[in-house]
Amino acid sequence: MGKARSAAAAALVATLIAAGGSPAYADDPAPLAVTSTGLSEGQVVGPSLLFHPVWSEGANVTKVEVYADGVLSYTALNWTAGLCLRLSGKQDGTEELITIRAYDSTGAWAEASTHVVVDQTPPTATISPVGGSLVQVGGVLTVNATDVSDDLAEMSLYGNNGVTVASVTSAPWTITYDTVGGPQRVYVHVTDRAGNTREYAGYQIDNQPPTIGDPTGFRGRVGRVSGATHLDIPLSGGANHIEVRVDGTLTESWDGGHSPTSYGTTNGADIDYNFGTTPRTATVDVLVRDVAGNTATKSFALIVDPTGPTITSLTPANGALVRGSTIYFTIHATDPDGVAYPEVNGCYCPSGPDRLFVAAGADGSKTLVFRVYDNLFNFTTATRTVIVDNTRPTLTITSAPKNGAHVKGTVKINAAAADRNGVARVELLINGKVVAQDVTAGYSFAVNTTKYGKTFNVQLRAYDRAGNVTTTSTRTWHR
Ligand SMILES: [Ca+2]
Ligand SMILES: [Ca+2]
Ligand SMILES: [Ca+2]
Ligand SMILES: [Ca+2]
């Protein structure tokens, strides 16, 4: 051990090489020597360092001792993976003389020493952009380090897959890294000459733009709009910024902001727009961006249809006579947006498919306003004037045998009928059955009494053009 001590005391500036033990190396055909400690003089080392000493060629080394400032640190019997230098707990700037003593199988030994300088303080730097758990980047990432420690040896990007994906070893401390296809997260490492590493918050890698869905919320058929319209556009994938344009005009703009500690996202964009009354095809352009700056766009066309349905039929017709306490209208319409519903005088009063009802009210002319709406709230208006008639025609027999009369041969009946809206016909009923009718005024019937029995009943019945009926009292005749 005396030689080792003397070697340590000899000098601090040069690597020292020594040999000793027996047999004397003068007689040894391959004298044992430690030709290198594996360290370089003045090397700065951190708390832990692997190094590889070198022996003279052919040496059969069986044991190695590592000394720090002459004190045995440890003994190694296997150094194929290198020797480990442990200097933890030592002050930065401390010089240590590291001595490697190698023994061969004969017990002879040789040693070499190297001075190292302790540095256990990782470097510092100001990293931009500032990283963090919420910082997302995509595409080409440029990272700069400024205000770096004097002993900075390397700046690198270290992936969450355990791989260093990019590094620089000299100023300017700038890394330009294409993130596409790389790990999902990278951290910034700065390492000094001693191998001390400091990790700075890194960046979430995101090269996937948000997804823009198809618009929903159409009142009628998909892709068709009219007037003031609200549609929803579903978004996914962390949209942080949206822009919606209709025919090139910005109609919605939203930004969720972005700081190292927060940002906002949205899962939907809106189209709130009055498409007006001009038939056309409008173009909607949607742009969305995530925090990492990935952008997606989507365009779609909307058919602007401000036209109401086409009314294909509406009954009763204008001027029609109607009777009863309720008037029923049947209305048919078509529309490319789909027909929503009809209404009469502002009332959706259905009495069946395509059928509306309204109270008849007093006799006389009655004008009704109809609207038929499509699913976009466009409507078409139609009017109908009908004539309400719930008044029976007047009917009197002007000449005929009286009730209870005896008759023979052919007997004539004359009658008068009248109605404000016209008489449709007068019927002759014998024994309750219609046997003749007369549709022109000056109503007159000839009854061949021989066709009937000894006694039979005679009545007249008048219809007005609305269908109201007046029946005379029964006259019973005898033959
Ligand atoms: Ca340092
Ligand atoms: Ca994304
Ligand atoms: Ca329409
Ligand atoms: Ca009438």
**CATH 2.60.40.10 is held by the domain 394-478:** yes
Note the pLDDT of residue 49.
Answer: 85
Note the pLDDT of residue 13.
Answer: 37
Mean pLDDT to the nearest integer, 19-48:
75
Distance, in Å, from the CA atom of 86 to the CA atom of 91, rounded to the nearest integer, reads: 13
- Cβ-contact 337, 376 below 8 angstroms: yes
Q: What distance in angstroms lies between residue 336's CA and the mean position of ligand 3's atoms?
A: 6
Q: What distance in angstroms lies between residue 86's CA and the mean position of ligand 1's atoms?
A: 16
Ligand index nearest the alpha carbon of residue 118 = 1
Ligand index nearest the alpha carbon of residue 379 = 3
Shared fold status for 310-388 and 394-478: yes
Q: Which CATH architecture has domain 211-304?
A: Sandwich (2.60)
Mean pLDDT to the nearest integer, 57-78:
93
Of the pLDDT bands very low, low, confident and very high (cuts 50, 70, 90), residue 46 is confident
Give, as one character, the DSSP assignment of residue 129: S
Residue type, position 399, single letter: S
Q: What distance in angstroms lies between residue 433's CA and the mean position of ligand 4's atoms?
A: 23
Percentage of the chain with pLDDT > 70? Answer: 94
| Phi and psi, residue 21, nearest 5° | 80, -165
Mean pLDDT to the nearest integer, 36-60:
91
Q: Residue 208: pLDDT above 90?
A: yes
Mean pLDDT to the nearest integer, 55-70:
92
Q: What distance in angstroms lies between residue 113's CA and the mean position of ligand 1's atoms?
A: 23
Note the pLDDT of residue 29.
Answer: 57
| pLDDT, tens only, 383-433 | 999 999 999 999 999 999 999 999 999 999 999 999 999 999 999 999 999
Which CATH class, in words, describes the domain spanning 2-118? mainly beta
Q: What distance in angstroms lies between residue 267's CA and the mean position of ligand 2's atoms?
A: 13
Q: What is the pTM of this model?
A: 0.67
Ligand index nearest the alpha carbon of residue 295 = 2
> Strand ranges (DSSP E) for 259-402?
266-274, 280-289, 295-304, 310-315, 321-322, 326-334, 339-344, 350-352, 355-359, 364-374, 379-388, 394-399
Ligand index nearest the alpha carbon of residue 209 = 2
Q: What distance in angstroms lies between residue 411's CA and the mean position of ligand 1's atoms?
A: 140
Q: Residue 201: pLDDT above 70?
A: yes
Q: What distance in angstroms lies between residue 279's CA and the mean position of ligand 2's atoms?
A: 38
C-alpha Rg value of the chain to the nearest Å: 55
Of the pLDDT bands very low, low, confident and very high (cuts 50, 70, 90), residue 31 is confident
Q: Which CATH architecture has domain 310-388?
A: Sandwich (2.60)
Ligand index nearest the alpha carbon of residue 321 = 4
Ligand index nearest the alpha carbon of residue 466 = 4
Q: What distance in angstroms lies between residue 426's CA and the mean position of ligand 4's atoms?
A: 14
Q: What distance in angstroms lies between residue 272's CA and the mean position of ligand 3's atoms?
A: 20
Which CATH class, in words, describes the domain spanning 126-205? mainly beta
Q: What distance in angstroms lies between residue 184's CA and the mean position of ligand 1's atoms?
A: 30
CA 1 vs. chain centroid, Å, equals 78
| pLDDT, tens only, 90-135 | 889 999 999 999 999 899 999 999 999 999 999 999 999 999 988 8
- Cβ-contact 203, 131 below 8 angstroms: yes
Residue 383 structure tokens? 């009017």
Distances (CA, A) of 298 to 233, 234, 282, 446: 11, 12, 14, 87
Helix (H/G/I), strand (E/B), else coil: 450: helix
| pLDDT, tens only, 365-376 | 999 999 999 999
Note the pLDDT of residue 88.
Answer: 76
Beta carbons within 10 angstroms of residue 421's beta carbon = 17
**Residue 306: which residues within 8 A CB-CB, separation 6 or more?**
226, 227, 276, 277, 278, 279, 376, 378
Domain boundaries, the chain: 2-118, 126-205, 211-304, 310-388, 394-478
Note the pLDDT of residue 282.
Answer: 97
Ligand index nearest the alpha carbon of residue 241 = 2
Ligand index nearest the alpha carbon of residue 391 = 4
Distance, in Å, from the CA atom of 66 to the CA atom of 14, rounded to the nearest integer, reads: 18
